[in-house]
Amino acid sequence: MPAKPLAISVQGLAKSLGGRKVIEDFSIDVPTGQIFGFLGPNGSGKTTTIRMLCGLLTADAGTGRCLGYDIIGQSAAIKREVGYMPQRFGLYEDLSIRENLNFVARIYGVPEPARRVDATLERLGLVERARQLAGQLSGGWKQRLALAACLLHAPRLLLLDEPTAGVDPKARREFWDQIHELAAQGMTVLVSTHYMDEAERCHQVGYLAGGRLLIHGGVDEVIDQSGLTTFEVSGPALEALAADLRDRPGVEMTAAFGASLHVSGTDPALLERSIEPFRADPQFRWARTRPSLEDVFIHTLARAGVTMS
């Protein structure tokens, strides 16, 4: 199967704000129709990167193209073909859903605006709420309205900045189903998120910390690249067990996962020797398991010396 054309290809992007380096040496390739997920602690540069890619911020250094346009010299052309959904709801709360969409359609100069608004209301399941004021909507319905506004001008690239923050699990699942439908139709999506279950639904993920892209690739690829060996242990007093294990050779990370504990390291032989005495204790049940994306995320940030906030 021939490779898909690249929707985004950037090399060496850098950006400083207020005299502080926010992004350094950022490079990615994103094929058309893929969903690329950005993960990272607060202040890692996710929002700045997204804004550079859609032309809202100009990079201080680096080169690249987005949707075939030069990101430095043709940012206005990029903006016309991008739908950008910021972290905060940005539509008018004293207007109805339909009135908000009509306004956005006029701003973009959408042809046949009434028909396009009707089609978008239908596509996002908003027809029955079209007359409801935006300010009266729950977080999930506001999110759906914001996505509808992003899609009115038929963009080729969708940029979503933590779009599901504060939204209930059902609304999050429905939102991601919609995103996958859009990607299947050829739309490229960049999304920043703190949720590991959402990251696992992306075709590619990247970890940003301290303005640098520490690791990126497909989910399975990222997990394999980490080199982590992970054991899952269940039983009583897991906090005490974690404290006993943390300083032992080969134990690079312990992390609680519900009623179990993940114990990980990059030297399998050394890790097994350190946990061997504890595996003999019948109160604990041990099993080797595949590292989760969260295991890899925490381990990557720890090795980079980054503290979560």
Q: Cα–Cα–Cα angle for 305, 27, 74, nearest 5°?
A: 135
Q: How far is CA 289 from the centre of its chain?
A: 25
Both 285 and 171 in one domain: the answer is: no
Helix or strand run (H / E) with residue 202: none
- Final residue before a domain boundary, out of 217, 243, 258: 217
Both 161 and 88 in one domain: the answer is: yes
Both 203 and 84 in one domain: the answer is: yes
Residue 247 is part of a domain; what is its CATH number? 3.30.70
Residue 200 within a domain: yes
Q: Which domain holds residue 116?
A: 6-217
Both 147 and 199 in one domain: the answer is: yes
- In whole angstroms, how large is the CA radius of gyration of the chain? 22
Residue 131 is part of a domain; what is its CATH number? 3.40.50.300
Q: Angle between the 169-184 and 139-151 helix axes, to the nearest 10 degrees?
A: 20
Structural domains in the chain (count): 2
Can you give the pLDDT at residue 254? 92
Both 247 and 149 in one domain: the answer is: no
Residue 222 within a domain: no
Can you give the pLDDT at residue 309? 45
Query: In order along the chain (309 residues), what is the average pLDDT of each group of 10 residues?
Result: 83 92 94 93 86 87 93 91 87 94 93 94 93 92 92 93 83 90 95 88 92 91 92 94 93 90 95 94 94 88 65
Can you give the pLDDT at residue 170? 86
Both 199 and 267 in one domain: the answer is: no
Both 275 and 195 in one domain: the answer is: no
Both 190 and 244 in one domain: the answer is: no
Residue 284 within a domain: yes
Can you give the pLDDT at residue 307? 56
Both 65 and 120 in one domain: the answer is: yes
Can you give the pLDDT at residue 1? 55
- Final residue before a domain boundary, out of 217, 242, 274: 217
Give the burial class of 99: count Cβ atoms within 10 A of its Cβ; 0-12 exposed, 13-18 middle, 19 or more buried: middle
Closest CA to 157 of 50, 13, 27: 50
Can you give the pLDDT at residue 56? 83
